[in-house]
Structure 1
């Protein structure tokens, strides 16, 4: 079970130079159900996600580059390209700040994963995270792949 909250980040009040950053490319084989492939640095993954917003089933396996390249030919929609920064926050959680590239340039989101729904509900995000968009369909990566940036972000 994946439990996460997502925020629309407008500005970052500090330098990102000292945080781990991974370059990611992801694409979708299917949107219903959600079947995604992702390249993160030199690792490759196939992920199946269930329905839901904050909490949903997720199954992920590591695949090799050859499998990734073969599956890439079967994808729909646009690639989602981003740089992901891993930023520890005071509450002990790890924030994942995504700076989108290509057609999504300028969009920034921050996600935090939680072990329980109770912890997700009790979480108080730092102000720099921005607006909670966990329930806004237009900011899910599947929607970004299909439709691009939501209008208010264009």
Structure 2
């Protein structure tokens, strides 16, 4: 089970000291949610259940050839983003996503938690913006299909 909250961004911190990765992902299906993802030079296929704060997730490594074969089955636009890993205390890490191309100028933050209780009691730092955890328009599968919400 994955417990996650998602936020917009009020202010981007200085990023030069944080690790990051480049992500390309596409959705083979949005019902059920089946995603392929390239993270730098690694490749994955994932399935996620529906939900907001809590969801089931299964992720499996695949190779480049499998990724390229599955790429032809993607139903929507690909999402491309830089992800920065920013420690925020209490063993938590903010994953700051800076989107590119059709989603340019969109910035979101995701934080994963060990439990629903921890997620629900989380107090976001000041540089976090609006909590969009329950706003389906900001889910990556919907961003890939419909673009940045108005």
TM-score, normalization by structure 1: 0.95
Deviation at 1:15, TM superposition (A): 1.1
Correspondence list, 1:90-129, <5 A: 90-129=89-128
Q: Which residue of 2 aligns with 1:66?
A: 65
Can you give the 5+ residue segments of structure 2 that lack an aligned partner in the other structure? none
Contact 1:10 1:108 in 2 (8 A): no
Question: How many residues get paired?
Answer: 150
CA distance in 1: counterparts of 2:14 and 2:114, whole angstroms: 28
Q: Which residue of 1 aligns with 2:142?
A: 143
Matched, 1:82 2:81: yes
TM-score, normalization by structure 2: 0.98
Indicate the SS of the match to 1:76. coil
Indicate the SS of the match to 1:89. strand
Structure 1 outlier segments of 4+, above 4 Å: none
Can you give the 5+ residue segments of structure 1 that lack an aligned partner in the other structure? none
Matched, 1:40 2:68: no
Contact 1:27 1:79 in 2 (8 A): yes
Cα RMSD over matched residues? 0.7
Deviation at 1:91, TM superposition (A): 2.8
CA distance in 2: counterparts of 1:106 and 1:10, whole angstroms: 13
Q: Which residue of 1 aligns with 2:48?
A: 49
